[in-house]
Amino acid sequence: MRTVKTIAAASAVSLLVFGSHSALAQPVTPLKETVVTASRIETPREDEARSIDVRTREDFDQQQTSSLTDSLQTVPGVRTQNLGGPGSPGTTPIEIRGFGSSGTQLLFNGLRLNDPSSISGISDSYFSYLTSNDLQSAELLRGSNGVLYGSDGRAGSLNLISEKPVEGTTSELTFRGGSFQSYDEVAKLNVGTKDLGLVTTATRLDSRGLDQGGDYENTTVSAVGNVKLNEELTIVPMFRMVSALNDLNMSPTVDDKGKLIPDLPTDSDHVHAQSYFYGLSGEYKPCEVFSSKLSAYSNITNRSFFFDFGGGFQSSSLFKGDSYNVDWQNSVKLEDFNHASLPNNECLVSVAFSAWRS
């Protein structure tokens, strides 16, 4: 197998200006403030002009599905299509505004979640196995602003925001069952103080699939910490692991009399995908007008395929890859930015630099 190594660097600058006066004369009911990362800067949802949709933890629970692609099917301008049972490798990746899957940048807490085992490095292989049980929200940005996180975001970006640790000790156990002998078990544990915290989530999905011999298994484990060293410096360690196994069966056929022969199970045909993400982010905020964030993280993927065609003829393939990334972002908040048409405004400027090797 040929090994391809690349070194790339990209920089992005974003400028966000918003007014402090409403353009409407009549009073309006204020929206619940929700911060988003459409401009690489945390911004109240009602002040964000870019085209973005947010799915929260409450939305995931109401939909009663662990599949992230299922949760996003109702988002305008987004297309997902399931071509098989749960976790099927044939799941079409998320397409934004008809651009194609190669234009969607996948992020985890604002950091690139790519597939280094793929020649193109895009995120296609992840979408079939993504679950939402460990997420606080998912932010889908439509439009070219997705390139703030890399050239793969030409159509937009999907940012997976993990749950954050909170003060106190809490635990949660969830079990769900459904059709096709599908079972979903989730265990969560949160331990936190004012300056130190950790939240971990373990998910197990099992399904017999749409027909005999289409078993699917998915184990996802994630952990996010929070270490507040002082009032100015905070460290956030992150880890996410996915291991998914799909058993494959023979396609349905017809016999010489035209009678349908249903899908037949196979003894060993399967697709096994493993992905690991781990990283560390540190944010330094000495005052309200300036912050600097440095992140170092890695993606590791292994994908194996095995097919037994009978008669002693077998075929197997293994794809492995790893990438190492560094992001550095600096943000400055300039208050009382005077403009003829936008009096008493605030101006937020963010400069980000990214470098990666795979």
Alpha helical stretches, state H, 119-186: 124-127
pLDDT tens figures, 294-312: 999 999 988 888 777 666 6
In eight-state DSSP terms, residue 110 is T
Q: What is the pLDDT of residue 343?
A: 37
Domain 7-357 has CATH 3.40.462.20: no
Which is higher by pLDDT, 154 or 266? 154
Rounded Cα–Cα distance for residues 156 and 127 (Å): 15
Alpha carbons 93 and 79: distance in angstroms, whole number: 8
Q: Strand, helix or coil at 147? A: helix
pLDDT in the model for residue 116: 80
Q: Give me the numbers of helices (H) and strands (E) for the chain, helices first please.
A: 3, 21
What pLDDT, on the 0 to 100 scale, is given for residue 84? 59
**Euclidean distance between CA atoms 313 and 316, whole angstroms:** 10
More confident residue, 180 or 162: 162
Tokens of 201: 């989530």
Look at the block and give the residue holding tokens 């044939």.
Answer: 90
Distance CA(187)–CA(133), nearest Å, equals: 9
Greater model confidence, 336 or 320: 320
pLDDT tens, 126-165? 677 888 888 988 888 887 776 777 777 777 888 889 999 9
The reported pLDDT for the residue numbered 191 is: 96
Stretch among 25-29, 255-259, 267-271 having the lowest mean pLDDT: 25-29
Percentage of residues of the chain with pLDDT beyond 70? 65
pLDDT at residue 220, rounded to an integer = 93
Collapsing DSSP states into helix, strand and coil, what is residue 188? strand
Phi, psi of 17 (to 5 degrees): -125, 130
pLDDT at 214 over 70: no
pLDDT of residue 15: 39
Tokens of 99: 């651009």
Can you give the pTM of this predicted structure?
0.77
Buried/exposed code over 248-284 (b: 16+ C-beta within 10 A; e: otherwise): bbeeeeeeeeeeeeebeebeebbbebbbbbebebbbe
- The answer to whether 206 touches 216, Cβ cutoff 8 Å, is yes
69-98 pLDDT per residue, tens? 777 877 887 777 666 556 665 555 677 777
Residue 339's pLDDT is what? 43
pLDDT at residue 287 greater than cutoff 70? yes
Residue in 133, 220, 223 with CA at minimum distance from that of residue 173: 133
**CB-based contacts of 218: which residues, under 8 Å, 6+ apart?**
86, 87, 129, 131, 203, 204, 205, 206, 242, 243, 244, 245
Look at residue 74 and give its three-state secondary structure.
Answer: coil
Cα distance between residue 106 and residue 112, in whole Å: 6
Residue 136: strand pairing partners: none
Burial level of 10, CB count in 10 A (0-12/13-18/19+)? middle
Give the CA distances from residue 118 to residues 4, 102, 218, 305, in Å, rounded to whole numbers and listed in that order: 10, 12, 21, 14
State residue 3's pLDDT score.
41
Residue 284 has pLDDT above 90, yes or no: yes
3-49: pLDDT as tens digits: 443 334 444 444 334 333 434 445 545 545 555 666 677 777 776 66
* Predicted local confidence at residue 282, as pLDDT: 95
